[in-house]
Structure 1
Amino acid sequence: MKVFRIAACTLAMVSALAAANAAERTTFGTTGRETGHLVLFGATDLAAMQAVIEHFHGLRPDLAIDYFDGHTAEVYDAVLKEADWNGMRPDIVISSAMDLQVKLVNDGFAQPHESAETERLPDWANWRNEAFGFTFEPVVMVYNPLTLPPEDVPSTRFDLVRLLREKSDFYQGRIATYDIAQSGVGYLLATQDARQAHTFGRLIESFGRNAVRLACCTVDVLEAIEDGRVLIGYNMLGSYTRQRIAHGSSLVTVLPKDYTMVVSRIAFIHRQSANAATARAFLDYLLSRAGQEVLARESSLYAIHPDLTGPGTAEGLHKEVEGPLRPISLSPGLLAYLDRMKQERFLADWRTAMGSNRVGAD
């Protein structure tokens, strides 16, 4: 199997959330005669998806598979504006920005798919047999025990607010979270916090008062925590933290005891897929016990399959958490904060509170 990576340039376009930059292309080539092709647009790091793609490719070595890895807003833009990357359009679209995926499906960009694998999903992870959740990932706080005083480790959002109030001087510029104006999944998590937590107003007020640092993605925050620029990361995707810990990082995750949100990466088959039969086969593999086993054991992602147990599974996460788990449900309710006026108002309030202190800035 030949695997190589090249840069794929996007059109210069701007969405309500972020400007598109570039997606990175990885090709899983055939060693013999090519009989098919599959194109995946994903807002998920290659490192998280590579194992499951390679396992599927092992079953179908006659296929050439192209995986384009972009940010959530870039993937949304490309689909919405029917742009191609390197002359290719997607057969399957994957993203952790659940609300943006629901909007694309609601706007008619998906085609339905029903199978034994889709029927096994919990109701909240299957919307209209068009959008399918295939992971079960906690949203966590992250810290480095080498730099954070042990008595300051927060176990709830209330703890974090109190910490920033009582030790404001020490934590100035040393807390980080998503820049929700640039990150689709960051915007999703902030709006879900606003709906679920009566602490949200005090939390963002504390963030603004303490010059919180903002980042486009979890990886940037985790690197800043590892090198000591940041002490606590808020609303980080637990899958990326899990990956770094598996590779020897000293990072520690906190599953908030007041509630731990759970996001699911959403996949759908594009309505204009040029390889619909192959796309259906890949989607079923992604949802199957075999594919989910690969996600749980060979990637940093958390499997959603109900029959799997142990680390990296929904069952394992239920055993690990001390407070309630709150999976974000695939439903029309996710569209509420994508209403243009509501979105602009939410972002304006956020910017007013946060300022513009980027991760990495002096």
Structure 2
Amino acid sequence: MRDVAFFLWLTLLCIPLAATAQSLTDKPVVFPARATSSATLDIHAATDLPAMEPLIRDFQLLAPEITINYFEYVTNDLYRAAAEACRTGRFMGDILLSSSVDQLIKLANDGCATPHSSAETARVSRWANWRDEVFGFTYEPSIFVYDSRMVPPEDVPRSHAALAELLRRRIDFYRGRIGTYDIRLSGIGYLLAYSDARQTTTVYGRLLESMSRADVVTRCCNSEILDQIAGGQLYIGYNILGSYAYAAMLRNPDLRIVVPEDYTLVLRRGALISRAAPNMAAAARFLDYLLSERGQRVSREKAFFFAEDEPSPKGVDGPETLKESGVARPIRIGPYLLAAQDQQQRQRFIADWTDVLFGSAPGSGGAQE
């Protein structure tokens, strides 16, 4: 039954669970205008504020008259809230940001986005612009992260197959020490799992079987896995966004990052201007900033750390430049992300994944990045 489950993943993708959607806090984080305020921009985002803050503050140097309200969500909750607001014609945010770009694509396809064209949007790679409505503004590889205090150099996996073999070979040592997303709870976890399965069903299936035997630990989000690796509870994290992992590595030199040498999924975090945005001009200006050379430089140096045409940040174990190495596998922002927006398929996806890893039926819950 497990072998059959591996092949089902090739055609499946998530849609959100039904639950009450809400932001992580009751009130937004407010960035007051640096000068007399003449406009307000509401950003609703499934993106950690520490990653966005350098970009917001630099934008306000260029637009000192704009006050910014930042509402932080987990991925599926942002989608649910935006979809409901769109359906009922209510206002919810001027601009939406999310790592679950498949959900932004669905919102745009449902008429919830406002197209935007400018000199800055023209610079975006074709695989990161869908109908001038959803734009990718980051370049984030999905990587392995490990605790160098616990993982000896000879054990460091540098491919998906090597990680599967390590867990088979040293199962007792790594039992309960491998962490990854719980795709029942994570929107970006779904997207990465789906994209992994499309790369190589055989290798990915073998890896999941090995993780099952090693009692893999699943968590909602990047931050929980990274915190548990830093705390010594986990030794290796799988499919972690490189942006957050690198920020954690800067805080804790015991953490190490590996860019897989067989293939590396690359995500572009998405941005969408809401159809009902009352501050359309401010939203367009902020989107143009994110896509501009200046915004991309701040993103690379202070926020998300990786860039398409730049060397990987210092200390990363992997090719110097992902794009030139040939290992990068971009998750294209386009109609293929719409193809599996079907609840029955999603439920089968969850059931098969859960059966492979845990041998039980899936639970339910919210969603995290």
Q: Same fold (TM over 0.5)?
A: yes
State the Cα distance separating 1:243 from its structure 2 match: 0.7
Q: Deviations over 1:270-304 (max 9, x none)?
A: 01001111111110011001111111112234345
State the Cα distance separating 1:71 from its structure 2 match: 1.1
Q: Distance in 1 between matches of 2:282 and 2:46?
A: 20
* 2:181 aligned to which of 173, 178, 182: 178
Q: Secondary structure at the match of 2:340?
A: helix
Q: Deviations over 1:50-77 (max 9, x none)?
A: 0111111122222110011111111111
The aligned residue for residue 11 of structure 1 is none
Matched AA of 1:339:
D
Q: Deviations over 1:11-31 (max 9, x none)?
A: xxx942776454242101135
* 1:89 aligned to which of 88, 92, 95: 92
Matched AA of 2:126:
D
Tell me which moved more, 100-109 or 17-26.
17-26
Matched AA of 1:260:
T
Matched, 1:64 2:67: yes
Matched, 1:104 2:126: no
* 1:346 aligned to which of 325, 335, 349: 349
Q: What value does the CA root-mean-square deviation take over the aligned residues? A: 2.4
Tell me which moved more, 227-236 or 202-211.
202-211
Question: Taking structure 2 as the reference length, what is the TM-score of the superposition?
Answer: 0.85
Matched, 1:16 2:17: yes
Residues 1:230 and 1:248: Cα distance change in structure 2 (over 3 Å):
closer
Q: Distance in 2 between matches of 1:268 and 1:248?
A: 34
State the Cα distance separating 1:246 from its structure 2 match: 2.0
- The answer to whether the 8 Å contact 2:311/2:321 transfers is no
Q: Distance in 2 between matches of 1:90 and 1:21?
A: 13
* 1:258 aligned to which of 250, 253, 262: 262
Structure 2, unaligned runs of 5 or more: 1-14, 364-369
Q: Distance in 1 between matches of 2:19 and 2:353?
A: 15
Matched, 1:46 2:49: yes
Q: Deviations over 1:147-174 (max 9, x none)?
A: 1122211111111111111222222111
Residues 1:224 and 1:318: Cα distance change in structure 2 (over 3 Å):
same
Q: How many residues align?
A: 336
The aligned residue for residue 149 of structure 1 is 152
Tell me which moved more, 162-171 or 266-275.
162-171
Matched AA of 1:202:
R
Residues 1:206 and 1:163: Cα distance change in structure 2 (over 3 Å):
same
Question: Taking structure 1 as the reference length, what is the TM-score of the superposition?
Answer: 0.87
Larger strand fraction of residues: 1
Q: Distance in 2 between matches of 1:205 and 1:327?
A: 25
Q: Distance in 1 between matches of 2:177 and 2:231?
A: 12
Pairing 1:208-287 to 2, within 5 Å after superposition: 208-287=212-291
RCO comparison, higher one (Cα < 8 Å, 6+):
2
Matched AA of 1:30:
A
